[in-house]
Amino acid sequence: MGTPITCIEDLRLLARRRVPKMFYDYADSGSWTEGTYRANEAELQAIRFRQRVAVDIDGRSTASTLLGQRVAMPVALAPVGALGMQHPAGEILAARAAKSFGVPFVLSTMSICGLEDVAREAGEGFWFQLYVMRDRAFARQLIARAQAVNCPVLVLTLDLSLVGQRHKDIRNGLTDPSRLTLRQLMQIARRPRWALGQARSPYKGFGNVLGHAQGIKTMADMARWKGGELDPSLDWADVAEIRRLWKGRLVLKGIQDAEDARLAVLVGADAIVVSNHGGRQLDGAEASIRALPAIVDAVGKKAEVWMDGGIRSGQDVLRARALGARGCLIGRAYVYGLGALGQAGVAQALRVIRNELDLTMAFCGRTDIEAVDRSILLPGGHPGVTETRRTPS
C-alpha cells in the first residue's frame, strides 16, 4: 500500500515523479521571477480564521450554486492548456471526475482532447474557455462548436492577448511543439509509464485546432499558427460581439482592476473571475486574493465574482468565499492530481479540498457555506478584513 494522500502537496510531489519535467514545469511555473505566482499562495496563507467553540456544527453543507448551477462546493476546474500532456486523455478524465463529484469542468481552447471528444467520452454539461485569435472566423467556429455540444457556459479569457515570458518553458523547449529535442526525449525516457500511456492514447494533438483552423493540419502548422495567432487587438467591442454571439452564460476571466470589472458588467458578463492567470502573465501583478475585495465592492450584485490563483486547499476556498467570491477556479491543485493518478487523482484532489473546506467552516462556527462572510476572519491579515460584523447563528 502506498503513502496515503492527505493534501494537495502529496499529489504535487507524486505528479512531479510521474510527469516529464517539461510538462510538470509547464503547469507548475510562473512568468519572469515568478513573484506573482508565489504571492498568490502567500497572501492567502496570511489570512487567519476566527476559531469559535460551543456552537452547534452538526449537519454541515458545502453545497452552493455557480450561475444557478448546483455544485457540491463553490469550485470549478479551471481551463488548463495541454491538460492531456499531464496524463493521457487528461481533459476527458478531469471532466469525468468533475461531473461525478458535482462541480463544473472548464475545457481550454488549447486542449489536447477536443470539444467533441470530451462530449462523446465524458458527457455534456462541461464549460468551454475561449481565446480570441486573429482568425475571428475560427473564434466564431469554436463558439458554434461549443454550443453544438451543449456547453452552458463560455469562459472568455481576457489576459492572454500576449504570452508572458515563462523561463522554464523556454529552457524546456516548449516554445516549438513541432519537434522533440534530445533533452525532451531524455525526460520522456525517465517516465516510461507516462510514455506508454501517451503512445496508446488516440489524442495526440490540439483537438480544438488541428483540422479546424484554416490550414492547420500538422503539429508543424500548429507551431507556426500558435506563435502569431493570439490577438493583441482584443478590446471591449470584441467582447461585446462575443456576448452577442454566445447564447448561454458568459464569464470573463482575467480581471484584476475594479474599473475593468465595471466594464465587464456593462458588456453583459454574468460572472467575472479575478485572476492574474496563475502568475503566468504579468509578473509583479497583484495577488488575486488581494485584488478581490475591491472588485466585489465595485460589482455588487450585478454579476457573480469568482477568483483563481493560489488555491491549494479548502481553507483557501473558504478565505476567498469570506472575502466575497461566489466561487473559485482551481487549476494546479487538480492538475497535480491528474498527473499523479489520472481521473482518480482529480477526484482525490476534490475530496481533499471539500474535506478541508467542511472542517474549517465548522471550526469557524458555520454549518452552511452560504452563511460564510468576513466575520469568520481575524482582522489585520488582509486589507479586506478590518472588522467583524456578526456572530454565528
Flag the least confident range among 96-105, 205-214, 227-236, 335-344: 227-236
Q: pLDDT per residue over 120-134, tens digit each?
A: 999 999 999 999 989
**166 a known binding residue?**
yes
Q: Is 277 annotated as a binding residue?
A: yes
Interatomic CA distance for residues 59 and 70, integer angstroms: 18
Q: What pTM does this model have?
A: 0.95
Average pLDDT over residues 28-44: 97
What's the pLDDT band for 386 if we cut at 50, 70, 90?
low
Q: Could you give the count of Cα atoms lying within 13 Å of 189 in the half-sphere of its Cβ?
A: 7
Annotation-wise, does 380 bind a ligand?
Answer: no
The helix or strand, by DSSP H or E, that contains position 351, with its residue range, turns out to be helix 343-363
Report the C-alpha gap between 233 and 219 in whole angstroms.
Answer: 26
What's the rounded Cα separation, in Å, for the pair 117 and 123?
9
Q: Is 284 annotated as a binding residue?
A: no
Q: Could you write out the DSSP letters of every residue in 126-183?
A: -EEEEPPBS-HHHHHHHHHHHHHTT--EEEEE-S-SSPPP-HHHHHTTTT-TTS--HH
Question: What b/e readout covers 265-303, taking b as 16+ CB neighbours within 10 angstroms?
Answer: bebebbbbbbbbbbbbbbbebbbbbbbbbbbbebbeeeb
Positions marked active-site: 277
CB 321 within 8 A of CB 303: no
Phi and psi, residue 103, nearest 5°: -135, 160
80 is in an annotated binding site: yes
Q: How confident is the model at residue 223 (pLDDT cuts 50, 70, 90)?
A: low
**Hey, what domains does the chain have and what are their CATH numbers?**
8-376 (3.20.20.70)
DSSP reduced 3-state for 88: coil
Residue 16 has, within 13 A of its CA and on its CB side, a CA count of 10
Contact 350, 103 (CB under 8 A): yes
Please tell me the predicted confidence (pLDDT) of residue 220.
72
Look at residue 389 and tell me whether its pLDDT is greater than 60: no
